[in-house]
Chains A and B, each alone.
Chain A
Amino acid sequence: MGIWRPIATRAASLFLVLIAVLVLLVLSLGATGYSDRILTAIVGEEMRAVRTALAAQIKDPDELEAAVRTQQEELERSYGLDQPWTLRMPAMVARVLVLDLGEARTVRTTTGSNSVAEIILERLPPTMLLITTSLLITAAIGVAIGTWLSTRVGSRSDRIASWIAAVSNALPGWWSGIVLIFIFGFALRWLPTGGMYSTPPPTDPLARALDMVWHAILPILTLVLVSIGPSVYVVRTMTMSVAQEDHVTLARAKGMSGGSIARRHILRVAAPPIVTGLILGLAASLGGSILVETVFGWQGMGRLYYDAIAGTPDEALIVALTFMFTLLYVIARLILEILYVLLDPRVRTGGGRRGAA
């Protein structure tokens, strides 16, 4: 019981976030006329099929035109195009929710499908791979270096670390990616300059997987590079402030070893805020992945976003992607919220501490 209440509260509020974003998307689409354009495109797409079907049955051109027109009007009515966009909003929210947004303009899946939902589902795993790997690496390094630094506050290495954190925070990840491509891809020729596979991709599954890892090194390095500074800094600051609390002094006075103090009395207490730091890091990597994938030509959702904006914008894809990024973010936050509840007993009993903010 104790665990479920806070989780349910957070889940409800995150669900509210999702709905709010959806409404925001649909509102701005409607008010700017984009939703009309998307729906008209869907109708046009369907009418092409209808016309060919009708043409096979009806020979007389006038009669055909009339039949096509009634069909078109019927379709437009079913999509709500005869009503103002304000009335269509609920239906549009539902469409976005299930990614029923018709077909993409030029992008196709590897199997040739142009359905927005299928394209996005195909691009999801590469993005997840990048984000989760870099997040785990960042967290591991952050905890290791951060706790080490917290025992040396004010030392030279601590000062250097805070400088590095500042620079890392000020570094646009995508630009660092370009610089890394320059150094390792272009000048030294050690690593591939972009893409997910070599051309042609290896056929053997193992070789293929290794090839992808090979191509993922630079993008992951980039994502880690820009988030490592803040991560180390958060862990350091959090552990440091816990290390100054009375129970740690007591433990020290009892003669406990440094290692077990760090594990049982410092990290255990500092864990929840560190998890919060991770959540914030995740937000940065989700956004950052759009730019980093663009730079590296990594065929995930981020690169898809860029392709949808560049050239002739593909509204349906843009809407779907914005929603998907929000959904991903909300899901990831929920997972971390659950972690938070498991880590911090105070949340379970409903006392003291506020939720992660």
Chain B
Amino acid sequence: MALLRGVLSSGVGRAGVALLLSLVVLSIGVVLTFPPGFGLTRWGDPAVWADNPKAVPPVWTNVLGGSAAEHRTLSIGAPVDVRQSGPAELRTWELPFAQGTGALPTFLSFTLGRVDYAGRPPSYRLLLVRPDGVEIPLVRDVVRGPRPGETGPYVRYADEPYRVLISSDPAVTEEAADALGAQYGVTIDPASLRGRPEVALFGVPDGAGGYTPLAGDYRFRLAFAFADPADVLAEAKVVLGGSVYGWAGTDTQGRDLMEGLLFGLPIALLIGISAAFVSTAIGTALGLISGFKGGRIDLLIQGAADIINNVPLLPLLIFMVFVLGSQLWLILLVLVAFSWPGLTITIRSMVLGLSTGSEVEAARALGASTGRILRKHIFPHTAPFVVTQMIFFVPGAILAEAGLSFLGLGDPSLPTWGQILEDGFRTGAVFLGYWWWVLGPGLALVITSVTFMLLAIALEPVVNPRLRGGDRG
């Protein structure tokens, strides 16, 4: 408690504590809300990110003067129209949206979620209804039919939604050319719209091959013909691709980097704190034993500490992780194995000083056991120093893991900041100008490490009175 009060007495300490509290709150939130197995089932699954724009900057870049298209996802609600035609039922949904004269959507896609039908597969079409009244058919299809030998009722697209990338469908360019040509009395070559039908879908032909954007209220109309009134369409959506996305942008697979950044936080804290705790515990225990027992054990521990303390950490870390494999717990184990000695050496020399002191002498005279003396009369004196060292070690462990991940030795089932940076670096984010891919995870690393550095710096004068404003302790 005295430690905490000491930390809070300085500005550096208060900043550190405030940062730490917010990081902890944020990571608890992440742990509670993110799905378990996020790394493999979500982050590592390209299908999840298919509808996101690829490698686009964060939304807030718009504030800085950009005029990028925002990313919009329109999902169906209740049908606006249900009509019987014979035994069949015709259901219609409408998805209204506004389109300004600014940036066009970068792509259009249509995704069909779960469909249940009893007998005949339902057929459906998707139309774009424009403010000028022109209707352009975008998708026309039938839900996948029964397989040979399969009996109803049938469930389709439940596990894997059915996705159509409208922008790259040649039929759409032809429909758009036809519909616009008829309305405005011009002939349009569909080939000129290949791969980029949006200019025509959201524009008016000027007759010279160009288009002027048409602003106003648009609608997607989805019409389903079910053979049986009990058939159900559970989910469908249209995505208007943006040229900015989320608070941290996306990578080349369309992954929302914000999710990766958030998920990386509890992992980084876990890595830093657990590695720091275990290696401090080992280092302190060995230091206590070594200093108090003396003799052969002391020689052995100090010999080992001296050797391990003198090896270059990162090359050996790389080698060991490469040889042993890159599961997170192995990385932590190796990290701990190489980082206890510094503390052991210092604690030992502290113990040597303490064990000849009068307090220990008195305890010994009263018949206290070795364990009791160590616990009650020696360890408490070293505790503040130990705590400082532990905090000091946290950023080291976090940065070491990040370095390993950056070299491609990270645990593939858990995306960390280092791995996101590695992805970015390997993809050439630096040379393609995808700054958001590199700055986000790096800043996250720096902020987390700085938090612990600030705490350690604030603790130092509390622990080491000699640094307290010039007086000699």
Contact = CB atoms under 8 A, between A and B. Distances in A.
Interface string A1-39: 000000000000110110011001100110010100000
A214 interface: no
B320 A28 contact: yes
B419 interface: no
A291 B435 CA distance: 19
Contacts of B399: 170, 172
B425 A295 contact: yes
B425 A186 contact: no
A179 B472 CA distance: 42
B166 interface: no
Contacts of A179: 438-439, 442
Contacts of A175: 402, 421, 438, 442, 445-446
B341 to A, nearest CB: 9
Given A244-B470, A309-B407, A172 B442 contact: yes
Given A154-B469, A170-B395, A309-B408, A290 B402 contact: no
Interface string B267-296: 000000000000000000000000000000
A313 B407 contact: no
Nearest to B469: A154
A329 B312 CA distance: 7
B45 interface: no
B306 A13 contact: yes
Name which of B314, B342, B421 has the most chain A CB atoms within 10 A of its CB. B314
A169 interface: yes
Contact of A291 (B12, B311, B407): B407
B406 A171 contact: no
Interface string B391-403: 0000100010011
Nearest to A332: B312
A168 B449 CA distance: 10
B449 A17 contact: no
B435 A283 contact: no
A170 B449 contact: yes
Interface stretch (B127-135, B359-367, B450-458): B450-458
Interface in B290-314: 306-307, 309-314
Contacts of B431: 186, 193
Given A154-B470, A174-B403, A244-B470, A167 B446 contact: yes
B323 A34 contact: yes
B140 interface: no
Nearest to A31: B323
A29 B450 CA distance: 37
A41 interface: no
A16 B308 CA distance: 11
Interface in A248-287: 283, 286-287
Nearest to A177: B430
Given A175-B442, A178-B425, A313 B322 contact: yes
A321 B316 CA distance: 10
B295 to A, nearest CB: 19
Contacts of A186: 430-431, 433
B307 A17 contact: yes
Contact of B311 (A13, A21, A305, A309): A21
B438 A167 contact: no
B430 A178 contact: yes
Contacts of A295: 425
* Contact count band on B: 35 or more
A24 to B, nearest CB: 8
A164 to B, nearest CB: 11
A254 B470 CA distance: 22
B276 to A, nearest CB: 14
Contacts of A306: 407-408
Contact of B312 (A13, A29, A153, A283): A283
A221 to B, nearest CB: 16
Given A14-B310, A309-B407, A25 B318 contact: no
A275 B10 CA distance: 31
B322 to A, nearest CB: 6
B409 interface: yes
Contacts of B439: 179
Contacts of B324: 28, 32
A196 to B, nearest CB: 17
Contacts of B319: 25, 28, 318-319, 322
B87 interface: no
A325 B421 CA distance: 25
Name which of A170, A171, A186, A329 has the most chain B CB atoms within 10 A of its CB. A170
A154 B345 CA distance: 30
Contact of A153 (B313, B457, B470): B470
A244 B473 CA distance: 11
Name which of A32, A178, A193, A354 has the most chain B CB atoms within 10 A of its CB. A178
B311 A169 contact: no
A114 interface: no
A310 interface: yes
A290 B450 contact: no
Name which of A14, A175, A241, A290 has the most chain B CB atoms within 10 A of its CB. A175
Contacts of B452: 170
A330 B310 contact: yes
B315 interface: yes
B430 A17 contact: no
A166 B312 contact: no
Contact of A170 (B318, B406, B450): B450
A288 interface: yes
A326 interface: yes
B322 A318 contact: yes
B467 interface: yes
A294 interface: yes
Contact of B450 (A167, A185, A321): A167
B345 A286 contact: no
Nearest to A237: B467
B309 A357 contact: yes
Name which of B312, B446, B452 has the most chain A CB atoms within 10 A of its CB. B312
28 contacts: A13-B306, A14-B310, A34-B323, A163-B12, A166-B453, A166-B457, A169-B449, A171-B449, A172-B446, A172-B449, A174-B403, A175-B438, A175-B445, A178-B425, A178-B430, A241-B466, A244-B470, A286-B312, A287-B313, A287-B403, A309-B318, A318-B319, A322-B316, A326-B316, A329-B311, A330-B310, A357-B306, A357-B345
Given A28-B320, A329-B310, A357-B345, 12 more contacts: A21-B316, A162-B457, A167-B446, A167-B450, A172-B402, A172-B403, A178-B442, A179-B442, A193-B430, A313-B322, A318-B318, A319-B319
Interface of B: 12, 306-307, 309-316, 318-320, 322-324, 342, 345, 349, 395, 399, 402-403, 406-409, 421, 425, 430-431, 433, 435, 438-439, 442, 445-446, 449-450, 452-454, 457, 466-467, 469-470, 472
List 3 tightest A-B contacts by C-beta distance, closest first. A287-B314, A170-B449, A325-B315
Interface of A: 13-14, 16-17, 20-21, 24-25, 28-29, 32, 34, 153-154, 162-163, 166-167, 169-172, 174-175, 178-179, 181-182, 185-186, 193, 237, 241, 244, 283, 286-288, 290-291, 294-295, 305-306, 309-310, 313, 318-319, 321-322, 325-326, 328-330, 333, 354, 357
